[in-house]
Amino acid sequence: MKSEKEKLLDLYIARIDRLPTWGLSYALLWALGFSFFITIYDAVNLGVALPYIPFVTTASEAALISSLGLFAYIPGAIGLGYLSDRIGRKPVLIGSVLLILIGSVGMAISTNIIEFYIFRTIEGAGIGADIALIMTYLAELSPSSKRGTYINLVYIGGWVGFGLGTLLASELVTHIPSIGWRLVFGIAGILALTALALRIYAPESVRFLVKKGKFDEAERIVRHMEESAMRRVRLTSLPEPKILEYSLQDTNPFKIFRNKEYLKRLIILLLWFIAFYMASYTFLLEWPESLSLFLGYKGSLLDSVITIIGYTSIAVTIGAIISRFFIDKIDRRVLLASSSFSILLGVLISTYGAIIRNFLDITVGLIIIYLIYEAWSIQSGYIIASELFPNTARATGFALTDGLGHLGGAIGPLIIVSLIPMYGSITSWALISFEVFAISILILFLTPKTLGRRLEEINEVSSTK
């Protein structure tokens, strides 16, 4: 028998789920997209700025700066993800962007390597948390039929940050080398401050409000969403809400994973994120270097390949935009598996092209990787991870899988430089890329379909059957 709280929660969620379009201000969507832009901008600008920072004098110092930010993703995502499941999405969304603000400004004004280490770690914790929180927050405020579409809008914002952020940072450091690196991080701080101001006006998740007994506030938000959605599509009424039968779990988020179904989902998704980041970070960071170290690319030959990489990376943004047309039409598990295969295909083509000095093959391989793998697979992974955990542990589950998954990015470069001398370039890159496709097949067959289904239907209902 459902409690009164459970009945009210499902009624509010069912009312949101029947909406024909986004029910809140479009400014909120753009604000979250802007926030994701900042997150990705901050993630990619470091590599461009590092060579111009005067107190970073050795390769080991540069490597440590990169690693500190990456490793900080893990406690940031897990710690703040857990906190958002306990105290609410909104305050932790504010907290995560505040960490990015402090870290960015701190790096901009750092006067020595120790200060830079500290602020890079703070910023990394904020970035790791922000990725998990934005995806979870959007999943909970979107009708199931449009969930992928609205997450995609924010995702596009991030990948615009990837392209424009790299371009802006490179222009600043090359044209104003003395202070350009400070401006790169200072701009990130200004952008984070803007995002902080926008998030103050964001509503709390309806699911969390009901969980905490704040029914009047939940009713006000849902009624506003209904009125806005009907006005936008010119409807005078909405269909009856679909009520589901399930029990509401209000417990420590980590205890949820005693349930074998949720534990299975957690393990499979964690393995996929480890494999994804291993393949992605290793390729992005080490493939150009491997051409120099193992294939004899030097001087103008290496410059030509770097130029190709720069231009083909635009395909990431194009791929993210293209995916809008099918993200809510194709089973996410199928999209994940097919796009995960593309890294294996793309890396084989581009590496073979590099071996035979064929720029066309290199270009085709890189376009496959950027357009399909980098643009579609991680987007599908983000959406699935935001859908496969219950209300009580949704942010925690996402944070555990994506946060710990970054370990793959940390160890991948170490693995590839050991493999290539033993097995050669093609075999080594195939080995580093195959796992993400293999694990995506497990997701296809061992996790439930999420497309067009209520989050509670995927989780609370199915887990009690």
pLDDT of residue 441: 97
Residues 284 and 158 in one domain: no
Categorize the per-residue pLDDT at 163 as very low, low, confident or very high, splitting at 50, 70 and 90: low
Indicate if the pLDDT at residue 371 is higher than 60. Answer: yes
CB 53 within 8 A of CB 392: no
Q: How many residues does the chain have?
A: 465
CB 349 within 8 A of CB 222: no
CA distance 41 to 169: 9
Categorize the per-residue pLDDT at 110 as very low, low, confident or very high, splitting at 50, 70 and 90: very high
| Residue of 169, 163, 201 lying closest to 186 (CA atoms) | 169
| Residue of 241, 200, 214 lying closest to 16 (CA atoms) | 241
Classified as helix, coil or strand, 267 is helix
CB 241 within 8 A of CB 335: no
Residues 178 and 315 in one domain: no
CB 398 within 8 A of CB 136: yes
CB 94 within 8 A of CB 199: yes
Q: Give the amino acid at 239.
A: P
Residues 50 and 148 in one domain: yes
Classified as helix, coil or strand, 12 is helix
Indicate if the pLDDT at residue 174 is higher than 80. Answer: no
- Determine, yes or no, domain membership for 211: no
Alpha helices in 298-370 (DSSP H): 299-312, 314-322, 332-355, 359-368
Q: Which two tokens stand for residue 378?
A: 């991680």
Region 452-458: mean pLDDT is 86
Q: Which two tokens stand for residue 307?
A: 């130029």
The residue whose two tokens read 């390769």 is 59
| Residue of 35, 73, 27 lying closest to 160 (CA atoms) | 35
Q: Which residues contact 258 (CB under 8 A, 6 or more apart)?
A: none
CA distance 157 to 138: 14
CA distance 395 to 382: 12
| Domain region containing 57 | 25-202
- Determine, yes or no, domain membership for 65: yes
- Determine, yes or no, domain membership for 244: no
Last residue of some domain: 202, 230, 245?
Answer: 202
Residues 162 and 290 in one domain: no
Residues 56 and 195 in one domain: yes
CA distance 355 to 412: 22
Classified as helix, coil or strand, 415 is helix
- Segment (H or E) for 177: none
- Using a pLDDT cut of 70, give the percent of the chain over it: 93
Last residue of some domain: 137, 171, 202?
Answer: 202
- Determine, yes or no, domain membership for 351: yes
Strands (E), 358-419: none
Give the domain CATH number at 48: 1.20.1250.20
- Determine, yes or no, domain membership for 247: no
Residues 302 and 364 in one domain: yes
Q: What is the pLDDT of residues 6-38, one digit of tens each?
A: 677 778 888 988 999 999 888 888 778 877 777
Categorize the per-residue pLDDT at 464 as very low, low, confident or very high, splitting at 50, 70 and 90: low
Q: Which two tokens stand for residue 82?
A: 């857990």
- Determine, yes or no, domain membership for 87: yes
pLDDT of residue 357: 95
| Residue of 211, 156, 165 lying closest to 188 (CA atoms) | 165
Within 10 Å of residue 177's Cβ, how many Cβ atoms? 12
CA distance 170 to 162: 12
- Determine, yes or no, domain membership for 172: yes
Q: Give φ, ψ of 80 to 5 degrees.
A: -75, -30
Indicate if the pLDDT at residue 187 is higher than 80. Answer: yes
| Residue of 362, 235, 253, 345 lying closest to 304 (CA atoms) | 362
Indicate if the pLDDT at residue 160 is higher than 80. Answer: no
Indicate if the pLDDT at residue 274 is higher than 90. Answer: yes
- Segment (H or E) for 404: helix 394-423
pLDDT of residue 463: 54
Q: Which residues contact 312 (CB under 8 A, 6 or more apart)?
A: 363, 366, 367, 370
Classified as helix, coil or strand, 200 is coil
Q: Which residues contact 407 (CB under 8 A, 6 or more apart)?
A: 74, 274, 277
pLDDT of residue 169: 76
Q: What is the pLDDT of residues 35-85, one digit of tens each?
A: 777 767 766 677 667 778 899 887 677 767 877 887 888 899 889 988 998
What mean pLDDT, rounded, does the chain reach? 86
Residues 381 and 298 in one domain: yes
Residues 197 and 259 in one domain: no
Indicate if the pLDDT at residue 146 is higher than 80. Answer: yes
- Determine, yes or no, domain membership for 137: yes
Mean pLDDT check: name the lowest of 90-94, 124-128, 281-285: 281-285
Strands (E), 68-158: none
pLDDT of residue 355: 96
Number of domains forming the structure of the chain: 2
Residues 261 and 361 in one domain: yes
Residues 75 and 190 in one domain: yes
pLDDT of residue 253: 82
Q: What is the pLDDT of residues 240-270, one digit of tens each?
A: 888 776 666 666 888 888 999 999 999 999 9
Note the maximum CA span of the chain.
73
CA distance 170 to 158: 18
Q: What is the pLDDT of residues 192-208, one digit of tens each?
A: 898 888 888 889 988 88
Q: What is the pLDDT of residues 422-441, one digit of tens each?
A: 999 999 999 999 999 999 99
pLDDT of residue 47: 65
Residues 309 and 384 in one domain: yes
Indicate if the pLDDT at residue 1 is higher than 60. Answer: no
pTM value surpassing 0.75: yes
CA distance 207 to 459: 14
Residues 180 and 115 in one domain: yes
